[in-house]
Structure 1
């Protein structure tokens, strides 16, 4: 499970099932449950991610975290999966000791609405987030 939570907000991505593609496992679909909560908003929906999508998210978080640990100024990193039920971005907040995790969610693309938000996190979140992606990949 990939989870960011503080006293006022939650962003969680949980594994539901894996739809295997027998001819090419790289094309397996990972079905996940996305939950976003804030004081006046609660969004829950299913999303489809490929192995490639999840590996890109994991690699992005690892790269960003390594740069932060080495005190290397890091440009914002974005994650955009094949099906854009949600996208996210991590960015250093200038002049602060925290990182912005910004996201968009549009569970019904055909309806034309989108939820945008963000949660401030510190670098201690990254190992758990990376392990969360690894646990989804290993299912």
Structure 2
């Protein structure tokens, strides 16, 4: 069975004076996934994300923390990409050639004053599988 990621909440609202929000990544399916949070270069000075890369096991949840520094009112977005992660794969490396790449988009609203409480919504990524991956990890025995 393929796997996918869900992010809850699917939107982020933060004050122009800056702030932090927490979001949950949920892995649905039976495959371990590797994820990477992608930022456009113009966002580097405003946002920090923890963790930026990682694994998420089937049926589990990982917390992502997004922090935005003070700045002008804008409507931004961040992208979380993910693939099925075979044994031995290091998420710091580029995604495996031939991988089906899933994508989640986190919409961000920067507002004047205190952010409103938003309804807790979810964004569903597409299902991905290891089909087509060109992966060969050499196992060294000691």
Structure number with larger C-alpha Rg: 2
Higher relative contact order (CA closer than 8 Å, sequence separation 6+): 2
- What is the TM-score normalised by the length of structure 2? 0.29
